[in-house]
């Protein structure tokens, strides 16, 4: 009897916890259920992942934490101080979650780097951008201007380094012989966004 009851309890609990409830930001309806969007988990936690998993226990330890495309409940403490997913949402709980553990909470889309509008008439379809494109030297500038919220470029105001790593040695910004390189590739780190981007040679 006890076994039957506990199986039932687990089944009931899993059916309600297996769905995202209470806080639907950073999710999209896929036709059958709400699932986490890519931008729900695109950032890093501000505090360590290890701390975040202790501070924000999984709502369903057998299913784990928010992932792109998954539909299980996020940790309750990410949005409520109550004990069920239908408890009233708490602004303080959410503010703290976004400030400290946005990835563990599946709330990256509400951090300042991901919460801005894309350009009204983007030159490419922002919905078809891939994560690899966010790192691509060919795409980064246009994405920073047109699809900033997909790549987490919202804080940059269109001023971006084309390559990653410029900030690992800022002395390159002043190095003789590096000026052409940094003016093109390290515009943000070296403060060159007001310098016009070199145009490809025309007819020479
Ligand atoms: C999304 O977040 C905002 C601000 O925290 C909140 O007011 C709103 O109710 C949330 N929307 C959903 C669908 O949960
Ligand atoms: C929607 O997401 C759920 C949970 O990840 C999945 O089981 C289901 O197959 C998805 N439905 C569609 C139409 O993609």
Q: Quick check: CB of 35 below 6 Å from ligand 2? A: yes
pLDDT at 203: 43
- Best of 28, 35, 37 to mutate for ligand 2, by most ligand atoms within 8 A of CB? 35
> With 50 as the cut, is the pLDDT of residue 202 above it?
no
* Gyration radius (Cα) of the chain, Å: 22
> With 70 as the cut, is the pLDDT of residue 144 above it?
yes
Distance 69 CA to ligand 2 centre (A): 8
How far apart CA 74 and CA 60 sit, in angstroms, is 8
> Which of 142, 176, 149, 193 has its CA nearest to residue 43?
149
Ligand 1: which atom is nearest the Cα of residue 23?
14
Q: Quick check: CB of 25 below 6 Å from ligand 1? A: yes
> With 50 as the cut, is the pLDDT of residue 204 above it?
no
* Buried/exposed 104-129: b ≥16 CB within 10 Å, e otherwise: bbbbbbbbebbbeebeeebeeebeeb
> With 80 as the cut, is the pLDDT of residue 102 above it?
yes
Q: Quick check: CB of 161 below 6 Å from ligand 1? A: no
Q: Quick check: CB of 28 below 6 Å from ligand 2? A: no
pLDDT at 1: 55
pLDDT at 194: 83
What is the per-residue pLDDT across 155-175, written as a single tens digit (0 to 9) for each? 999 999 999 899 999 999 999
> With 70 as the cut, is the pLDDT of residue 13 above it?
no
Q: Quick check: CB of 30 below 6 Å from ligand 2? A: yes
How far apart CA 176 and CA 165 sit, in angstroms, is 19
**117-122, Cβ contacts within 8 angstroms, sequence gap of 24 or more:** 117/149, 118/146, 118/147, 118/148, 118/149, 118/150, 119/145, 119/146, 119/147, 122/146, 122/147
Q: Are 171 and 197 in contact (CB under 8 A)?
A: no
> With 50 as the cut, is the pLDDT of residue 123 above it?
yes
Distance 33 CA to ligand 2 centre (A): 6
Burial of 89 (0-12, 13-18, 19+ CB in 10 A): middle
> With 80 as the cut, is the pLDDT of residue 73 above it?
yes
Distance 15 CA to ligand 2 centre (A): 15
- What is the overall mean pLDDT for the chain? 88
Distance 53 CA to ligand 2 centre (A): 25
Q: Are 144 and 158 in contact (CB under 8 A)?
A: yes
Distance 53 CA to ligand 1 centre (A): 23
């Amino acid at each position: 009897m006890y076994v039957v009851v506990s199986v039932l309890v687990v089944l009931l609990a899993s059916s309600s916890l297996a769905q995202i409830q209470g806080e639907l930001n950073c999710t999209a309806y896929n036709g059958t259920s709400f699932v986490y969007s890519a931008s729900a988990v695109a950032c890093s936690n501000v505090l360590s992942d290890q701390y975040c998993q202790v501070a924000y226990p999984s709502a369903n330890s057998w299913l784990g934490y928010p992932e792109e495309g998954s539909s299980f409940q996020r940790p309750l403490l990410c949005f409520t101080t109550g004990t069920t997913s239908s408890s009233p949402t708490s602004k303080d709980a959410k503010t703290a979650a976004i400030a400290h553990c946005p990835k563990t909470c599946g709330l990256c889309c509400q951090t300042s780097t991901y919460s801005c509008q894309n350009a009204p008439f983007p030159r490419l379809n922002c919905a078809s951008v891939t994560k690899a494109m966010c790192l691509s030297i060919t795409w980064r500038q246009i994405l920073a201007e047109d699809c900033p919220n997909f790549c987490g470029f919202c804080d940059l105001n269109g001023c971006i380094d084309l390559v990653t790593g410029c900030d690992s040695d800022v002395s390159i910004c002043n190095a003789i012989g590096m000026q052409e390189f940094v003016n093109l590739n390290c515009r943000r780190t070296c403060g060159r966004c007001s310098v016009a981007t070199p145009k490809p040679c025309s007819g020479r």
